[in-house]
Structure 1
Amino acid sequence: MHAPDTAVPVAPRRALLLENIHADARTLLTEAGWEVETASDALEELELVERLRGVSLLGIRSTTQVTAKVLEQAPDLRAVGAFCIGTNQIDLFAAAGQGVAVFNAPYSNTRSVVELALAEIIALTRRLTVKDRLMHAGVWDKSAAGAHEVRGRRLGIIGYGNVGSQLSVVAEALGMSVFFYDTADKLALGNARRCGSLHEVLDIADVVTIHVDGRRGNTGLFGEAEFARMRRGSVFLNLSRGFVVDERSLRRHIESGHLAGAAVDVFAEEPKGRGQSFESELRGLENVILTPHVGGSTEEAQEDIGRFVAAKLRDYVLHGSTTLSVNLPPLATEEVPGTVRLAHLHHNVPGVLAAINRVLADAGVNIEGQQLATRGDLGYVVTDIAAAASDEVGRRLRELPETVRVRQLS
C-alpha cells in the first residue's frame, strides 16, 4: 500500500507524458495547474521508476510497461492515462491495489483504425504494393492479373468491438459481404452475419482481419492451423495486438502462395521509439504491408485522445470522478459548491460505508452529500463535507482495515 496521504493531500502537481502524446494533453493539464514533463520515447522499468518520483499523473501509449514494481515504487502517483485503446501494458490489478486509477481512450481512434484497414484491404486486393514496387524499379506492368474489386468480396472480422463493428458498417457500404466472430454475444450491424466459430469465418472469407483486445488469453490466437484453414488467395490483416499472430506461420503461407497478401500494423516485439531499428519475419515479402503501429496515429485521433484522456486524469485528481476508469468503480461526481470532498477507495466488504460515516460523525463532521460505487473487490465512496477534515479524521479513515487509499479534494 502507498505511504498514507495527510488529511489535506500534498501530492505534487507534476505530470509525465511519454511516447509523443499530443500537445493538447500538455496544454489541458498545464492550464489545470500541473507542471508537465514530456518525452518522445517509451521508458524501461528502472528509468520509469526514477522518473516517477514526485509525479502524480503518468501518460503513456502502447509501449511503456507500467508493472507492479513500478507502481509499488511510485507513492505520489494518483492516476495513469493510456493515450490509446489498449491497457494490457499496465498491471491493472496492481494499480487498483495501490489506489491508482487508470483511464484509456476506447473510442477516440476507432475511425482511424477502420480507415487504415479499408485502405489496406483495397491495396492488397488490387496488389498495389507490387505495382508500386515495379514502377519505382522502372518496370511498366500494366495487367489485371490477380487484381480484384472489393465489391462483392467476403470480409471476415475476428473481434466485433468498437473497431470491428464500425469496419463492418463501412465495408458493407463498399459492397462487401461481412461475416464476423466474437466470443461475446454481439448484435450484428446492417446485413453482417454472425458466425458460430473462428473456423466458420475462415472457411467463408476472402479477407480476414483481426480486431481483438489485448487480454493475454488471445496470445497465439492465429497460427499455423488458422492460416492453413483460410481460403487460397485470400488476404490477412492484423491491426490489434502483435502477440495474437504467429508471424513465422504467416510468412510461410505468404511465400507458398496460399495467401495473396497481408497487412500488419502490430508486432510482438516493437522498438521503443521513432527511428530505431525494426526486425520482423515479414520484412521483404511481396504484397505485404508493414506499418509501425500507426492504426490510430492520425492527427485527428491523437488530438482527440490527448484531450479526452488528459481530461479524465484532471477530473479524477481534482473532483474524484472515475467515469470510464478501467480498474476502479465508476462514479460520475457532481460539484457541490462550498464543500470539501473526501474520496475513499476500499475493499468491498459489508459495513465500510457505516464505518466511514461513524468516523465522520464522531468528529462532528457534517455530510452534505455522498456517492458510492463498487466494482468486484473494490468500493469507492465520495463524501462532500462542510469543511476540511482534521488530521485526526484522515488518520482514522486510513486506519480502517478496508482502506486502500484516502484523498481529500478541496
Structure 2
Amino acid sequence: MYQYHCLNQISEEGIREFTEEYAPVSRAEEADAILVRSAAMHEMEFGNKLKAVARAGAGVNNIPLDRCAEKGIVVFNTPGANANGVKELVIAGMLLASRDIIGGINWVQENEEDGNIAKDTEKAKKAFAGCELEGKKLGVIGLGAIGVLVANAAVSLGMDVYGFDPFVSVDSAWRLNRSIHHAKTADEIYKECDYITIHVPANESTKGMIDGNAISLMKKGVVLLNFARDVLVEEEAVIDALVSGQVKHYVTDFPTPVIAGVKGAIVIPHLGASTEESEDNCARMAARQIRNYLEHGNIKNSVNYPDCDMGLKGKNIRILLLHHNIPNMLGQFTKILAEDNINIADLSNKSKGGYAYTMIDIDSEITLEAVEELRAVKDVLKVRVIK
C-alpha cells in the first residue's frame, strides 16, 4: 500500500488516477508521495518514507530541489499539461493590448445610468479604438509546450510570427507551423517584432533577460507580454519604457508591488493555468508520474533527477539507486550483486548534473545484506527494491 498527501487541493480527476493500492494520509511525514500546487515547501521537514514530490504545474520555485535531490526524493512537474490554458490567455493579452477593451468596458460601467448611453457610445468609442493583430509581427522567445501553441495560434490569426529558441526540442520543432520564421538571436526578435512574448524557464541565464538594453533594441510602441515568470523582466526598466512610450503595453500574469497600477501595464492575477481543464490535466499527469515511479521506478519529467524508463517491471525484481553522478558507481553496484551471485537481467543508468539514477532488473531474489551493502556505498542517496 502506498500513501500520498496533498499539500493543496488537487483536482479529483487526478486523485481518481490512484488505485485501491493508494491511500491518502493527513500527515506529510507519513507519505510515500506528495502532490503540491503552490504551497511553499522550503521550510518542510521530509519524512524518511518520502520518495517523490509531484508539482501539478510547471514552476517548481516553491520546492527545495537540491535538498530533495540529496535525500533521494524525485521531484516531478507537469510541463505542457496547462499549455492550452496559458496559450489562450496570451492571445487574450494581445487582444487587450491592441484594443482598449478594458477602457471601453470601464466607460460603459461609469455611464450605466446615462439614458442616452447608446447615442453617447458612438462619440465615446473613438477614445478606445485600437489596431488589429492580423499582419503584425509577433516574436515568441522560447518554443516549448506553450510557446509552440502561441506561435501556431498567432499564425492562424494572420500574424507574421518569429520564433527563437536555441534549445528547441525535436518534438517542438515538428509541431511548429512551417510558416514561422526562425530567428537566430533574441536581438532579431527585439528589432523586428510589434509584439513580443516570452516563454522560457527562470534560471540564471534568463532572469532579467528583458532589461533596459533589450528594450532599447525594440520598436517604439512595442507590446511586451510575460506569462512565464516575473523575474524574467526587469520591471523598473519596463516602467521607464512605458513612461517614455518605447513600450506601449506590458501585459503580465504576475502582480507585484512594483508593476501593479502602473499606467500602460495590463496586470492579470496569475490566471494563466487557472482553468478547470488545466487543473485536471496537471493533476492527472502528476498522479500518473507518481504511480509510474512508485510501481515501476520509471522517471519522466523530473526536475532534479534524469528521466529513465525501463518499462513495466514485469516478473523480475527491480533495484533502484539514486546517487551522486561520479565515476565507478556502476562498477561498485555490479560487484556487490556479483559477489552475492545475483544475475543482472537488464540495467539502465542516466545522469543529470550532479545526480544520477540506476535501474537494475535481476532474475533472482536479493538478500537484505546485499541491499544494505548497496546503501552503504559512498554517494548513494537512496535505494529502493520493487518486488
Normalising by structure 2, what TM-score? 0.85
Q: Indicate whether 1:210 and 2:201 are aligned.
A: no
Partner of 2:333: 356
What is the correspondence of 1:231-380 to structure 2 with a 5 Å cutoff?
231-267=219-255, 280-286=257-263, 288-367=265-344, 369-376=345-352, 377-380=354-357
User: Which deviates more from structure 2 when the two are superposed, residues 101-110 or residues 227-236?
Assistant: 227-236
Change beyond 3 A, Cα 1:145–1:204: farther
User: Which deviates more from structure 2 when the two are superposed, residues 379-388 or residues 326-335?
Assistant: 379-388
Rounded to whole Å, the distance in 2 between the matches of 1:158 and 1:125 is 20
Change beyond 3 A, Cα 1:253–1:380: closer
Rounded to whole Å, the distance in 1 between the matches of 2:16 and 2:334 is 39
Contact 1:330–1:373 (CA<8 Å) still a contact in 2? no
Q: Indicate whether 1:121 and 2:94 are aligned.
A: yes
The residue type paired with residue 271 of structure 2 is V
Q: Which runs of 5+ in 1 are unaligned?
A: 1-11, 38-50, 268-278
Change beyond 3 A, Cα 1:348–1:218: closer
User: Which deviates more from structure 2 when the two are superposed, residues 230-239 or residues 249-258?
Assistant: 249-258
Rounded to whole Å, the distance in 2 between the matches of 1:243 and 1:264 is 11
Q: Residue 76 of structure 1: which of 46, 49, 59 is its match? A: 49
Q: Residue 27 of structure 1: which of 12, 16, 19 is its match? A: 16
Q: Indicate whether 1:154 and 2:137 are aligned.
A: yes
Partner of 2:146: 163
Change beyond 3 A, Cα 1:131–1:76: same
Contact 1:30–1:36 (CA<8 Å) still a contact in 2? no
Rounded to whole Å, the distance in 1 between the matches of 2:245 and 2:313 is 66
Rounded to whole Å, the distance in 2 between the matches of 1:335 and 1:180 is 38
Rounded to whole Å, the distance in 2 between the matches of 1:351 and 1:286 is 59
Q: Residue 136 of structure 1: which of 82, 97, 109 is its match? A: 109
Contact 1:130–1:286 (CA<8 Å) still a contact in 2? no
User: Which deviates more from structure 2 when the two are superposed, residues 217-226 or residues 345-354?
Assistant: 345-354
RMSD: 2.7
**Residues 222-272 of structure 1: per-residue CA shift (max 9 Å, x gap):** 2333334432333221101011112233334334444332321025xxxxx
Change beyond 3 A, Cα 1:124–1:348: closer
3-state SS in 1 of match to 2:16: helix
Q: Residue 225 of structure 1: which of 213, 220, 223 is its match? A: 213
Q: Residue 157 of structure 2: which of 169, 174, 194 is its match? A: 174
Change beyond 3 A, Cα 1:262–1:103: same
User: Which deviates more from structure 2 when the two are superposed, residues 305-314 or residues 350-359?
Assistant: 350-359
Partner of 2:114: none
The alignment covers a number of residue pairs equal to 371
Normalising by structure 1, what TM-score? 0.81
Change beyond 3 A, Cα 1:151–1:374: same
Contact 1:22–1:302 (CA<8 Å) still a contact in 2? yes
The residue type paired with residue 401 of structure 1 is K
Change beyond 3 A, Cα 1:197–1:331: closer
Rounded to whole Å, the distance in 1 between the matches of 2:98 and 2:31 is 49
3-state SS in 2 of match to 1:53: helix
Q: Indicate whether 1:384 and 2:361 are aligned.
A: yes
Identity %: 26
3-state SS in 2 of match to 1:217: coil
3-state SS in 2 of match to 1:343: strand
Highest relative contact order (Cα 8 Å, sep 6+), 1 or 2? 1
